[in-house]
């Protein structure tokens, strides 16, 4: 049988071993917790950085869109002013042509001369009007293309950005 001293020594050794194991478990637990917290913080910092980058890209993209709309508006307004000037000039020329025709018509001596002049004037006026209309139509189409171009370019950028994550 074991003596009381031996039992106390065995219990003391067991307590000391248990305390050492508990201390080691606590130390290991703290180390594992530290690693887990560091990994979580690293992930959180990376996520925050990614969010910040995405926010900056979104702001930059929005700025580019605003600039494209501003540019398109500027091109459109300038082009419309030019088309308006061309139209006013065209109608002034028509008025001057009509006044000259009226003067000429009043100075003619016969009804045949007046009819011939009127036919010639109508033909010339029609041809001029058709040429002017064609020129205005071409200028309008060019203006529309020029005004839409900045927005079209932004649409291309948007499509590239949308397909970029899919391709990566």
**pLDDT tens-place string over residues 40-82:** 888 888 888 888 888 888 889 889 999 999 999 999 999 999 9
Contact by Cβ (8 Å): 164, 111: no
* First and final C-alpha spacing in the chain: 76
Taking the model in full, what pTM does it have? 0.64
Distance CA(37)–CA(52), nearest Å, equals 22
Residue 108, SS3 per DSSP: coil
Split at pLDDT 50, 70, 90, the class of 28 is confident
The structure tokens listed for 116 are 């011939």
Average pLDDT, the chain: 88
Distance CA(75)–CA(78), nearest Å, equals 5
Residue 24, SS3 per DSSP: helix
Distance CA(159)–CA(145), nearest Å, equals 20
Residue 103 has pLDDT above 80, yes or no: yes
Mean pLDDT of 8-19: 80
Distance CA(95)–CA(100), nearest Å, equals 9
């Amino acid at each position: 049988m074991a003596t009381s001293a031996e039992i106390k020594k065995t219990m003391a050794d067991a307590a000391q071993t248990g305390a050492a194991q508990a201390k080691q478990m606590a130390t290991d637990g703290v180390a594992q917790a530290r690693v887990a917290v560091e990994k979580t913080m690293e992930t959180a910092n990376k996520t925050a950085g990614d969010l910040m980058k995405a926010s900056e890209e979104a702001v930059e993209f929005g700025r580019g869109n605003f600039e494209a709309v501003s540019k398109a508006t500027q091109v459109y307004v300038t082009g419309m002013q030019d088309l308006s000037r061309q139209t006013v000039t065209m109608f002034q020329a028509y008025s001057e042509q009509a006044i000259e025709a009226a003067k000429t018509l009043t100075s003619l001596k016969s009804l045949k001369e007046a009819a011939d002049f009127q036919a010639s004037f109508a033909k010339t006026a029609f041809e001029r009007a058709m040429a002017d209309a064609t020129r205005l139509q071409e200028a309008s189409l060019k203006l529309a293309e020029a005004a839409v171009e900045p927005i079209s370019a932004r649409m291309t950028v948007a499509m590239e950005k949308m397909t970029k994550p899919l391709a990566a």
